[in-house]
Amino acid sequence: MQPTSIDLPMAGQLALWGDVRLPALLSVAVLGSMPQRETTVSFDCRTSGPRRHYFTGPLLIDVLQAAEPLFDPAERKDRLRYLISVLGRDGHRAVLSWGEIDPEFGNTAALLAVSMDCRDLTEQGPQLVMPGDRCGSRHISQVTDIRVCAADRLWS
């Protein structure tokens, strides 16, 4: 079910929906109550040069698994049909495959950061952090929307 204008999250919250059993409206506080990871990322930014930041937050895979995606968990390859679309308040969007963040496949430790450089992100909202990216384009600030979707539905 797609969020309506009434359901759109307030600043500091995100809507998690799509092909999941438990769609949710998540705050930075809720994300902060989940097991936390720490990471430092460095990337090149065309406009301002090299950047380096320290983040804490839950793994994206843990947040998504808590929403119970509609794939068959006993069937490993079934997960590979799923895409994750992450939208920021400014309209910036990144699309990831389930396989790139799944520990049995790509194992990218993507975070939904709740703090950046030891600053709390409660008012701004969580940030998608993609360690290992050479460019920071898939780092999404002020995440408002995460949609999980079976890719085969896109072509049916």
Spacing of C-alpha 130 from chain mean position: 9
Pairing mode, strands 115-116 and 93-97: unpaired
Mean of pLDDT values over 109-133: 94
Q: Which domains are present in the chain?
A: 13-155 (3.90.420.10)
Max Cα distance, the chain (Å): 45
Mean pLDDT over each residue of the chain, to the nearest integer: 90
pLDDT digits (tens, 9 = 90+) for 37-54: 999 999 877 777 788 999
For residue 46, what pLDDT is reported? Answer: 73
pLDDT band at 4 (very low <50, low <70, confident <90, very high): very low
Q: Per-residue pLDDT for 5 more than 50?
A: no
Lowest mean pLDDT among 15-29, 74-88, 89-103, 130-144: 130-144
**Of residues 153, 2, 11, 15, the one with CA closest to residue 86:** 15
pLDDT band at 74 (very low <50, low <70, confident <90, very high): confident
Q: Per-residue pLDDT for 66 more than 50?
A: yes
